[in-house]
Amino acid sequence: MVLVLSCVAALMVLRLVAELVLAALNRAEVRRNAAVRPPGVAAIMDEATYGKAVAYTLEKSRFGVVTGIFDTLVLALVVFGGVLPMLYSQVAGWGGPESAWSRALFILIAGVLISIPSLPFEWWEQFRLEQKFGFNKSTAGLWLSDKVKGLLLTFAIGFPLLWALLALVNLAGGNWWIWGFALIFGFQLLMLILYPKLILPLFNKLTPLPAGDLRDRLMALGDRTGFKAQAIEVIDGSKRSGHSNAYFTGFGRFRRIVLFDTLIAQLSPEELEAVLAHEIGHYRRGHIPKMIAMSALLMFGGFAAIAWLARSPWFTPSFGFPPGEIAPAFLLFGLLSGLVTFWFTPLGNLLSRKYEYEADAFAREAMGGAGPMVGALRKLAQKNLTNLTPHRWFSGFYYSHPTLVEREAALAKA
Ligand SMILES: [Zn+2]
């Protein structure tokens, strides 16, 4: 038992140290380049914007140090402090000895309680840090209503799902985890279709892209690249943040393109076309089913791990729970698996960056040249005050996209 707890504590410290070292290296690299813009960067940002991007990067990083340390302390307190077993005996006791619903409720309540301490930091980030650099467009009322809606959704969707999952454990016997995986994975696929139709409209307004030059261009691009979208919609991202983004959702015949209004405001029609061509590139190169298959594989492994941990006599009792209980095993896995998966972050990002290069190359081909894509990426970097000089280890570890200098170099290659 002591050995298990020591290992978990060591993993917590190791992850925090790795995070802090990477962040410190990154800040040092940004400061080293702060005075003079490096060669590839001078073409992307003017002196004033670059200075702002440096300040924004440093401030976000320092804020990340504070939240990283705080989050680790909260996690340690929750996991080692004995509060979870107390909550478990309370809430699970509301139902019978095998009751699935009360155990589902326990997981949800614990999850919500654990997220409360970080709320002041989320507030600070939005209304102090983002505000300072002109990115915050949200209000206190909107922020609060987002939180309340999120909480209600957690219970409305999470409760029946967890209830079904835990009931399945009781019904299916030793192989429950295969059925559990099928249930949750099936639910995720369903959400890919339902999320933009049912959840997103609760938080944002989606309107069809009005007829005109931009719509004609994007439709023509779709025809040219063999991508038939069911809908092109504009989302009012500007209601919360000045940061811009583009994405498209769904698969099969449920494809929808969702463009942020901030993106439309910032880019020229031709640059928007290039951004969409990049997204279509992900689709045409088969990245999306590959990513879904990969996450399915990981989830399958996760369920196998939970089943094994729940069976192991040393796991749940180490943290003060009765042996062989499945609900605490789920919660502990949810809280602690990140201590292990953190170290595989760079592997996932390596693959993601490979896909980004492929999508960029696709966009270049679809647009008949690299110009529009480069133009779009530069504007996005300027508007979002992107850090153009991350430390090599930092970007290698955390970046799902290559840096802009790397992307431009790849786009310039024949
Ligand atoms: Zn991409």
Q: What is the pLDDT of residues 219-272, one digit of tens each?
A: 999 899 988 777 888 999 999 999 877 666 655 566 778 888 999 999 999 999
Radius of gyration of the chain (CA): 23
340 CA from centroid of ligand 1 (Å): 26
Q: What is the pLDDT of residue 188?
A: 94
325 CA from centroid of ligand 1 (Å): 42
Q: What are phi and psi of 390, to 5 degrees?
A: -70, 155
pLDDT tops 70 at residue 128:
yes
Q: What is the 3-state secondary structure (H, E, C) of the chain?
A: CHHHHHHHHHHHHHHHHHHHHHHHHHHHHHHHCCCCCCHHHHCCCCHHHHHHHHHHHHHHHHHHHHHHHHHHHHHHHHHHCCHHHHHHHHHHCCCCCCCHHHHHHHHHHHHHHHHHHHHHHHHHHHHHHHHHCCCECCCHHHHHHHHHHHHHHHHHHHHHHHHHHHHHHHHHHHHHHHHHHHHHHHHHHHHHHHHHHHHHHHHCCEEECCCCHHHHHHHHHHHHCCCCCCEEEEECHHHCECCCCEEEECCHHHCEEEEEHHHHHHCCHHHHHHHHHHHHHHHHCCHHHHHHHHHHHHHHHHHHHHHHHHHCCCHHHHCCCCCCCHHHHHHHHHHHCHHHHHHHHHHHHHHHHHHHHHHHHHHHHHHCCCHHHHHHHHHHHHHHCCCCCCCHHHHHHHCCCCCHHHHHHHHHCC
pLDDT tops 60 at residue 34:
yes
322 CA from centroid of ligand 1 (Å): 46
CA 165 to chain centre: 24
Average pLDDT over residues 119-123: 98
Would you place residue 307 in the very low, low, confident or very high pLDDT band (cuts 50, 70, 90)?
Answer: very high
249 CA from centroid of ligand 1 (Å): 13
- Is the distance from CB of 349 to CB of 400 less than 8 angstroms? yes
154 CA from centroid of ligand 1 (Å): 29
Sheet holding 246-249, edge to edge: 206-208, 231-235, 256-260, 246-249
Q: Are strands 246-249 and 256-260 parallel, antiparallel or unpaired?
A: antiparallel
* Lowest-confidence region among 104-118, 140-154, 224-238, 389-403: 224-238
34 CA from centroid of ligand 1 (Å): 28
383 CA from centroid of ligand 1 (Å): 18
Q: What is the pLDDT of residue 1?
A: 80
Q: What is the pLDDT of residue 228?
A: 79
- Is the distance from CB of 290 to CB of 297 less than 8 angstroms? no
First to last CA, the chain: 59
* Average pLDDT over the chain, rounded to an integer: 94
- The better pLDDT of the pair 84, 222 is held by 84
282 CA from centroid of ligand 1 (Å): 7
Distances (CA, A) of 312 to 297, 306, 316, 322, 340: 23, 10, 8, 12, 18
pTM over 0.85: yes
Instruction: Report, as residue numbers or ranges, the catalytic residues.
Output: 279, 360
pLDDT tops 60 at residue 149:
yes
48 CA from centroid of ligand 1 (Å): 28
320 CA from centroid of ligand 1 (Å): 44
398 CA from centroid of ligand 1 (Å): 15
352 CA from centroid of ligand 1 (Å): 8
Would you place residue 209 in the very low, low, confident or very high pLDDT band (cuts 50, 70, 90)?
Answer: very high
Q: What is the pLDDT of residue 227?
A: 86
Closest CA to 166 of 328, 278, 343: 328
pLDDT tops 90 at residue 96:
no
356 CA from centroid of ligand 1 (Å): 5
Q: What is the pLDDT of residue 248?
A: 63
Average pLDDT over residues 370-376: 97
